[in-house]
């Protein structure tokens, strides 16, 4: 049929040298165009333009009304008929079309209202008489509750009011379970509501009841659609639950129901991807795209596959996509760019190139302007580059955009506490309602409060009042951090037994606490008990000793145990890190102890270099307990 319409359109264009200028011929031309699915909207739009420029044309209004009724836009169709009825030549045609449309409506309140509206528009004539007879008949039928429920349900299905349709048709089916039309319509209503399982059950029942129904074609089509999407949903649920074999079973069943749709194949690709079967997943995703170039989930699946293989491969593939497909995964493209820039920034930071790192962080922030943690990273790099004022302003602006956002307050608290502004960080946290506090904020607030206590205690101890300092700490709630401080103090004043007892108390609470393990090793080394010290060093876990300061202490312990090769290896790793950092006591201690170790191992020139570097790095007051204390050795 489409081929015949195409031929007719081409004949018009050949005869008139393009789109006809004559209004009557143009109406015929654009009515034909509207019959083509791909050009339907264009045809209707042009017919409406003709009506605006030449109103009252009966032929044009007739065509427009038919288009509106076919497009399930009855109110627009009736409006065109009302316009037609205003002319003597069009009134009879309008009445016939209007009544024909109303007669086709399922009997319901809506059909009664439509008949009443018709009679207001056309109160006289033979068609009006027929309308009055039909109106009386429908009003009488609607007095029966069962008939009313059935008819209202059928009307609701036709208008797409699924909730109303289900309620009415359930009553109708309950009243007459042999009514196949009501059962089938109930299945259609469930389908409209997205209740696939119930739709399948009702449609199967309707087909079994009346296999030769005039509605059979519609029921078969709806049944196939609902079975397909029910299987897709079951597959999705199984995939989400990690039941990959079950998910594959559902998707394969769906593919057998409809081999023309891409989503079953997409699901099989997702299962293969979840199994890390990249080649199979790629084949399925590509097959899905062959079925439907607009399946953006298949594009996303391929992008993620290539990204897992190589960010460079993913970026190159994305760059070659058509614009629409590329836009559908712009978040992945931004993420790939961000990852690449993040690696650049990390490399620059590790080299101490803070200003250049900050510029790279700015580019990351441009890709994601509201990112809390990119803002935080940029601010840290700016501080390290000597741009503290700009960094402060950046963090203030970030928090002020959403001052009650817990993540922003937490990031700001970390930044402030890292720049000797604990009181300001605590004030900002206190302004956040307790109900909004996260575990991270509670942990940060507790740490800052304990920092405050430890500062007071250290001031007392530094002024010669160690007993008062100990008493102050003992008044606080139990805390591993306080216990470690008391153990360190005991170690430094030579009270080995108290230090050992305190460190062991910490280990009873946290068996993998690296600070306590190293503290015990250091005490045992000081007492000359290398076997006991070695036992503690051997129990250290990697995650507990990853920081540069902890690595420094491990190196010293290894050296004290005579394991100079391991100690040298550790210093070789952490000295470049210390030199790349901004001046800090942590980096100064690493460089100082590396110098001492170089002296002990007969490398005086290297020792001098490290001492010089340590002096440069010692430009700030130490903050961390574990950094300020281990000046021993």
pLDDT tens by residue, 91-128: 999 999 999 999 988 888 888 889 999 999 999 988 99
Do residues 284 and 273 lie in contact, with contact meaning Cβ atoms separated by under 8 Å? no
Q: Is the pLDDT of residue 268 over 60?
A: yes
633: confidence class by pLDDT, cuts 50, 70, 90:
very low
Query: How far is 171 from 189, CA to CA, in rounded Å?
Result: 13
Q: What's the pLDDT band for 620 if we cut at 50, 70, 90?
A: very low
Amino acid 548: pLDDT: 87
Q: Is pLDDT at 622 greater than 50 in this prediction?
A: no
- Please check the confidence at residue 629 and state whether its pLDDT lies above 70: no
pLDDT of the residue at 623: 36
Choose from 121-135, 148-162, 243-257, 515-529 the range with maximum mean pLDDT: 243-257
pLDDT at position 554 is: 87
Q: What is the pLDDT of residue 545?
A: 62
Q: If you search the block for the tokens 């942990």, which residue do you land on?
A: 443
pLDDT of 304 higher than 60:
yes
Residues 330-358: pLDDT tens digits? Answer: 999 999 999 999 999 999 998 889 999 99
pLDDT band for position 458 (50/70/90)? very high
Dump pLDDT digits (tens) for 204-238. Answer: 999 999 999 999 999 999 999 999 999 999 999 99
Give yes or no for residue 498 having a pLDDT over 70: yes
Confidence of residue 3 (pLDDT cuts 50, 70, 90): low
Sequence-distant (≥ 6) Cβ neighbours of residue 189 within 8 angstroms = 153, 156, 157, 162, 165, 166, 169
Query: Residue 301, class by beta-carbon neighbours within 10 Å (0-12 exposed, 13-18 middle, 19+ buried)?
Result: buried
Percentage with pLDDT > 90 across the chain: 66
Alpha carbons 107 and 139: distance in angstroms, whole number: 9
- State mean pLDDT over 77-88: 92
Mean pLDDT of 14-18: 85
| Per-residue pLDDT, 593 | 86
Position 44 pLDDT exceeds 80: yes
Mean pLDDT (whole number) for 536-558: 82
The pLDDT, as a whole number, for residue 509 is 92
* Position 543 confidence tier, pLDDT thresholds 50, 70, 90: low
pLDDT at 295: 94
Give the DSSP letter of residue 105: S
pLDDT for res 628:
36
Domains of the chain: 2-150 (1.25.40.10), 182-195+210-331 (1.25.40.10), 336-451 (1.25.40.10), 565-633 (no CATH)
Query: Which of 373, 352, 354 is closest to 364 using CA atoms?
Result: 373
In sequence order, which residues have a C-beta less than 8 Å from that of residue 498 and are 6 or more positions away? 486, 487, 490
Its sign, for the CA torsion 82, 88, 93, 99, is positive
Q: What is the C-alpha separation between 327 and 349, in angstroms, rounded?
A: 33
Q: Is the pLDDT of residue 297 over 70?
A: yes
pLDDT category, 202, cuts 50, 70, 90?
Answer: very high
| Higher local confidence (pLDDT), 224 or 595 | 224
Which ranges constitute the DSSP H helices of 292-420? Answer: 296-309, 311-319, 323-328, 330-350, 354-367, 372-384, 388-401, 406-417
- C-alpha distances in angstroms, 293 versus 90, 211, 327, 577, 597? 47, 37, 14, 50, 66
Q: If you average pLDDT over residues 495-514, what whole number do you get?
A: 92
Read off the pLDDT band of 151 (50, 70, 90). Answer: confident
Q: Which two tokens stand for residue 24?
A: 């009557």
Residue 2: the pLDDT is 54
């Amino acid at each position: 049929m489409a081929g015949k319409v195409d031929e007719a359109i081409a004949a018009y264009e050949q005869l008139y040298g393009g789109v006809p200028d004559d209004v009557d011929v143009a109406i015929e031309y654009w009515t034909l165009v509207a019959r083509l699915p791909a050009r339907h909207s264009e045809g209707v739009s042009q017919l409406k333009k003709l009506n605006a420029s030449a109103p009252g044309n009966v032929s044009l209004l007739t065509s427009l009304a038919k288009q509106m009724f076919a497009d399930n836009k009855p109110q627009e169709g009736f409006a065109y008929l009302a316009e037609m009825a205003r002319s003597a030549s069009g009134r009879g045609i309008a009445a016939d079309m209007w009544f024909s449309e109303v007669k086709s409506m399922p009997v319901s309140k809506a059909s009664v209202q439509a008949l009443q509206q018709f009679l207001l528009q056309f109160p006289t004539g033979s068609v009006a008489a027929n309308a009055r007879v039909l109106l009386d008949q429908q009003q009488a039928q609607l007095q029966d509750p069962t008939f009313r429920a059935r008819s209202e349900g059928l009307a609701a299905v036709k208008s797409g009011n699924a909730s109303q349709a289900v309620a009415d048709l359930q009553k109708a089916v309950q009243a007459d379970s042999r009514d196949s039309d009501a059962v089938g319509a109930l299945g259609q209503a469930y389908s409209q509501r997205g209740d696939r399982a119930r739709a399948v059950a009702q449609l199967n029942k309707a087909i079994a009841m009346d296999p030769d129904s005039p509605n059979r074609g519609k029921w078969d089509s709806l049944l196939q659609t609902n079975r397909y999407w029910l299987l897709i949903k079951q597959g999705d649920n199984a995939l989400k639950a990690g039941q990959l074999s079950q998910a594959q079973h559902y998707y394969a069943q769906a593919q057998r129901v409809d081999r023309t749709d891409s989503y079953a194949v997409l699901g099989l690709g997702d299962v293969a991807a979840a199994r890390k079967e990249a080649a199979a997943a790629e084949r399925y995703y590509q097959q899905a795209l062959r079925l439907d170039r607009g399946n953006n989930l298949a594009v996303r699946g391929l992008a993620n596959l290539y990204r897992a293989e190589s960010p460079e491969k993913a970026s190159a593939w994305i760059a070659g996509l058509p614009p629409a497909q590329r836009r559908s995964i712009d978040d992945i493209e931004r993420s790939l760019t961000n990852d690449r820039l993040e690696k650049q920034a990390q490399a620059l930071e590790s080299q101490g190139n803070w200003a250049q790192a900050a510029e790279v962080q700015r580019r990351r922030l441009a890709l994601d302007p509201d990112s809390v943690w990119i803002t935080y990273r940029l601010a840290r790099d700016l501080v390290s580059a000597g741009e503290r004022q700009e960094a402060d302003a950046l963090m203030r602006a970030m928090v002020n955009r959403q001052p009650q956002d817990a993540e922003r307050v937490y990031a700001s608290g970390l930044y402030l506490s890292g720049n000797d502004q604990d009181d300001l960080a605590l004030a900002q946290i206190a302004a956040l309602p307790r109900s909004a506090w996260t575990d991270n904020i509670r942990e940060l607030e507790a740490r800052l409060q304990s920092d405050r206590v430890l500062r007071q205690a250290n001031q007392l101890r530094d002024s010669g009042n160690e007993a008062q300092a100990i008493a102050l700490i003992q008044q606080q709630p139990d805390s591993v951090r306080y216990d470690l401080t008391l153990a360190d103090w005991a170690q430094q004043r030579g009270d080995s037994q108290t230090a050992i007892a305190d460190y062991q108390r910490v280990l009873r609470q946290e068996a993998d606490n690296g600070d306590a393990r190293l503290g015990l090793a250091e005490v045992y080394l000081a007492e000359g008990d290398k076997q006991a010290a070695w036992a503690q060093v051997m129990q250290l876990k990697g995650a507990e000793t990853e920081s540069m300061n902890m690595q420094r202490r491990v190196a010293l312990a290894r050296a004290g145990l005579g394991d100079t090769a391991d100690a040298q290896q550790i210093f070789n790793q952490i000295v470049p890190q210390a030199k790349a950092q901004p001046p800090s006591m942590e980096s100064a201690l690493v460089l100082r102890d590396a110098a001492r170790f170089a002296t002990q191992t007969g490398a005086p020139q290297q020792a001098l270099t490290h001492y010089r570097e340590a002096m440069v790095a010692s430009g700030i007051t130490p903050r961390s307990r574990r950094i300020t204390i281990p000046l021993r050795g």
